[in-house]
Amino acid sequence: MPGRAGGAPVTSLVLALAAVLLGLLLGPAAPQAQAATDVRLLQRDLAGLSYAPLSAVDGVYGSQTTASVRHFQSDNGLDVDGDAGPATMSALTAKVKQVQSKAGTSADGDYGSGTLGAVKSYQSAHGLDADGIAGPLTMGAMNIDRITSSGTGASSDTKLLQRNLVGLGYLAAGGVDGVYGPATKDAVLSFQSDNALDVDGIAGPQTDAALTAKVKQVQSKAGTPADGDYGTATLGAVKSYQSAHGLDADGIAGPRTMAAMGIARELGGGNPGGGSGGSGGTPSVPPLSGSARDKIVQAAGSQLGVHEWGNNCNPYGPCEAWCALFASWTWRQAGVNFSTAFSGDFYYYGRDHGTLHSGLSNPQPGDAIVFGSGPQNTSTSVHVGIIEKANADGTVDTIEGNSDDQVMRRHFSPAARGAYAIVSPAGA
């Protein structure tokens, strides 16, 4: 019939227009791998391993889920594309099954309510915050590797992260290797603690944004383009800034350099995993008497046996390496106005106040003794303690915070143990 031949193109045109209109209404199609994924299962597993909040289990593969997938991929040697394809789902399911096996529940790879309950029981039995989430502390207790490696897909991203951590003095210069290993994780933990972020060792969007912002502040002060990448140009610019301001010119924006630049290095203490049990507090101190040196030693001795909790959480300051927090706290108990989280600052205190001992000579009770090779950054200045007693044979007895995760007494020869400075409190 004549009408049939002419109607086919019209029908095709109408269908095509309808498809275009439907596409505009619904938006772009999901990537094939995402469309094939059980999104709620994916989100339950990500939330169970603390890569996303439980509230994110909504069945929508949006920006938050994409970011969470990227974090998991980065930690597990996968291509970091935010797409939960077969390789990512296999690795995620395997990790969940490991947690389930350790928690004594059915290892089906689905982090549902049964797994949450089993993990809560495990956490309660092991002295952990019982929230049912297998975050870094819980997985560590279960002896499950949370971070395998950065993988080739994340290598460039990880190297940028590492360059920035090195540049701010949180990671040793040799740590830029593209592998998100224990040293990088520890550096991230320290940065997070200093910057009032969740202290979980995961360089997620908030941590990355805070780190980039801090690097840009340093770059602006040093007079170099603020691109957020602490590369060779930034190292050179910071060296020039340090030379012009009487600082050790190593190119690293450590505590002293950032202080000179007017940049706040510490914004507050973090809270491991976002739960309870953060750092800080008011340590119990008995009445102190005698000279300033006597009070320092008495204050230090009153804390013997105090243990950290969580991830470097302590009563003297933020959740981070806390030997300097403890040592400067003891000085403040004797009226010495000095506070620091960095052991190398004791050296600079002594230099600025004329109380730096020459060649580790004449140690006295109440002095600080600093270990490492020099005060430049956290890689060269690694520890500090308080001298309790100087012995006739050249050895000293000390009381040290963050020594085997607690406040404890040590006995040694300063030179043999690698001390590089002894510093007295001013006026003592």
**18 pLDDT band (50/70/90 cuts)?**
low
**186 pLDDT band (50/70/90 cuts)?**
confident
Range 171-196 burial, b when 16+ CB lie within 10 A, else e? bbeebbebbbeebbbbbbbbbbbbbe
Q: What percent of the chain has pLDDT over 90?
A: 49
Which of 6 and 18 is assigned the larger pLDDT?
18
> What was the pLDDT predicted at 219?
95
> What was the pLDDT predicted at 284?
73
Q: What percent of the chain has pLDDT over 70?
A: 85
The first and second tokens of residue 395, run together, are 């050895």
* Residues 215 and 261: beta-carbon distance below 8 Å: no
Q: What pTM value is reported for the model?
A: 0.41
The DSSP H or E segment spanning 69 is helix 63-75
Which of 14 and 225 is assigned the larger pLDDT?
225
Distances (CA, A) of 331 to 328, 349, 356, 404, 427: 5, 12, 15, 22, 12
Dist. CA 306–CA 323, nearest whole Å: 12
Least-confidence region, from 111-120, 134-143, 286-295, 418-427? 134-143
> What was the pLDDT predicted at 151?
35
> What was the pLDDT predicted at 11?
57
**DSSP letter at 270?**
-
Decide if pLDDT at 192 tops 80.
yes
Dist. CA 401–CA 305, nearest whole Å: 10
Residues 223-266: tens digit of each pLDDT: 999 999 999 999 999 999 999 998 889 999 988 888 888 888 77
Question: Looking at residues 349-364, what average pLDDT do you find?
Answer: 92
> What was the pLDDT predicted at 198?
76
**276 pLDDT band (50/70/90 cuts)?**
very low
**275 pLDDT band (50/70/90 cuts)?**
very low
Provide the CB-side half-sphere exposure for 270 (13 A, CA). Answer: 26
SS3 state at 171: coil
Which of 25 and 327 is assigned the larger pLDDT?
327
Provide the CB-side half-sphere exposure for 341 (13 A, CA). Answer: 27
> What was the pLDDT predicted at 54?
87
| Cα angle 77, 123, 94; round to 5 | 30
Question: Looking at residues 108-127, what average pLDDT do you find?
Answer: 92
The residue to which tokens 């030179």 are assigned? 415
> What was the pLDDT predicted at 178?
77
Q: 73: closest CA among 60, 61, 86?
A: 86
Dist. CA 159–CA 100, nearest whole Å: 33
Q: Please, what are the domains in the chain? A: 38-141 (no CATH), 152-260 (no CATH), 289-423 (3.90.1720.10)
Decide if pLDDT at 36 tops 50.
no
Decide if pLDDT at 27 tops 50.
no
Decide if pLDDT at 76 tops 90.
no
**282 pLDDT band (50/70/90 cuts)?**
low
Q: 336: closest CA among 294, 387, 399, 398?
A: 294
Q: Residues near 81 by Cβ (< 8 Å), separated by ≥ 6? A: 70, 73, 153
The first and second tokens of residue 392, run together, are 């006739």
Q: Residues near 75 by Cβ (< 8 Å), separated by ≥ 6? A: 146, 147, 148, 180, 202
SS3 state at 93: helix
Distances (CA, A) of 134 to 44, 116, 205, 211: 12, 9, 20, 25
The DSSP H or E segment spanning 323 is helix 323-333
Residues 300-315: tens digit of each pLDDT: 999 998 888 777 788 8
- The alpha-carbon radius of gyration of the chain (Å, integer) is 27
> What was the pLDDT predicted at 177?
81
The first and second tokens of residue 32, run together, are 């094939």
Dist. CA 45–CA 80, nearest whole Å: 18
The first and second tokens of residue 134, run together, are 């297998």
| Mean residue pLDDT across the chain | 83
> What was the pLDDT predicted at 2?
39
Percentages of the chain per state (helix, strand, coil), in multiples of 5: 45, 10, 40
Question: Looking at residues 94-113, what average pLDDT do you find?
Answer: 94
> What was the pLDDT predicted at 6?
47
Decide if pLDDT at 24 tops 50.
no
